[in-house]
Amino acid sequence: MLVHKQILHLPEPFRTEGGVLLHRPQVVYEAYGRPDGPVILITHGGLSDQHAAGRYCDEDPAPGWWDELIGPGKPFDTERYRILCMNALGSMYGTTSPSTMNPETGCRYGPQFPEITMVDMARYQKAFLDAVGVEELWLVAGPGMGAMLGLQLAALYPESVGAVVAVAGVGRTPPGAIATHHFIINTLRMDPQFQAGWYDLGRPLLAMKTVHQFLRINSVNEDLLKTAIWDAVQDGPEAQCQRSRAIDRYLTATVDVDVRDRDPNCYIALLEAINSYDLGGQADSYEEGVLRIQCPVLLISIDTDADYSLQWAEELADILNTRSPGQAQLALVDSPWGHLGCIKECEQMSEPIRKFVAEL
């Protein structure tokens, strides 16, 4: 399936929860499937982008990040549905963010980009949908940050969202994830070359390389390191030294490529928005905020996800099911990938998603 990026300028300025007006806001997005079909919105993970499926050309080495789930005959069937995936507000891949131009100054926003929240991101998604003429979503689905964005949309616009598939999704950002995000933010800000956000665009920060090594530890489970690296070395006098060198190579290989053209200001903006996420934030209690969601919800957790564990999905499901038994379904994926399982374990996710979609 060949796809292409599209750019849309929203017709009106966008005002954040903090009261800052973003002029000439833009959206980068992709569209798949039947233009006249029921609409599925795919929402991406924190450091990902709008390229959820297909390839830009036949020579592309890899398809979009959820390609196994999106396409003809797949769980999100492009022969039946109109599928949209929008790059999120604050992301570094073309939608208005710290890396885009501020039309009022003619320079990139950089650290002057306003603080945003998950509510802002959901409202920005709604402004995009309004601009392309979509009044009702048959379903919203996404991993990680995208899962939480889908749930936030369902809470803010219950009349417009028909169902949610949230992979590694919860109702509020757990304390461990918040701590992880602050470690990343603080690491970036403490780098002398960060220069309060006005860093040299041509030279990747040492802190960015540190962050990406940390993510290679934090985002996977130790079982993956054991199976893929440790077990590949036979026991012997030099075995432990060989294992040590192999794990070091895992941490450092391609890290220069990984951080090339990545904007640390975007990392900070998105992580702070994720930390703000709380479905009860606009209600008198967490339970009251969750109960704004009226549609069926499928919550898929990864058993080795250290930041978004099953207990936090169960907390959300219990609230919904106490009011409406069966409104929320839970599924657990067995994976060595940790949080990355939300994009690595598409084969395991296919069955519960197909079953959920069929029941709709």
pLDDT for 338 beyond 90:
yes
The per-residue pLDDT for 282 is 86
| Average pLDDT estimate for 28-52 | 97
Confidence of residue 202 (pLDDT cuts 50, 70, 90): confident
Give the 3-state secondary structure of residue 101. Answer: strand
pLDDT for 288 beyond 90:
yes
pLDDT for 225 beyond 90:
yes
The per-residue pLDDT for 248 is 96
Domains present along the chain, CATH in parentheses: 6-173+276-359 (3.40.50.1820), 179-265 (no CATH)
pLDDT for 316 beyond 90:
yes
- Residue among 38, 327, 329, 25 at smallest CA distance from 158: 327
The per-residue pLDDT for 303 is 96
pLDDT for 85 beyond 90:
yes
pLDDT for 269 beyond 90:
yes
Residue 266 exposed, middle or buried by CB count within 10 Å (0-12, 13-18, 19+): buried
Q: What is the pTM of this model?
A: 0.96
pLDDT for 184 beyond 90:
yes
| Average pLDDT estimate for 40-48 | 97
The per-residue pLDDT for 203 is 87
Helix, strand, coil content of the chain in percent (nearest 5) = 40, 15, 45
pLDDT for 15 beyond 90:
yes
Residue 29 is inside which H or E element, if any? strand 26-33
Task: Give CA–CA dist 335/66, Å, rounded.
Answer: 17
Confidence of residue 204 (pLDDT cuts 50, 70, 90): confident
Between strands 139-143 and 39-42, the pairing is parallel
Instruction: Pull the structure tokens for residue 51.
Output: 């390229």
Between strands 164-167 and 297-302, the pairing is parallel
pLDDT for 159 beyond 90:
yes
Task: Give CA–CA dist 133/126, Å, rounded.
Answer: 10
- Residue among 302, 296, 335, 343 at smallest CA distance from 317: 296
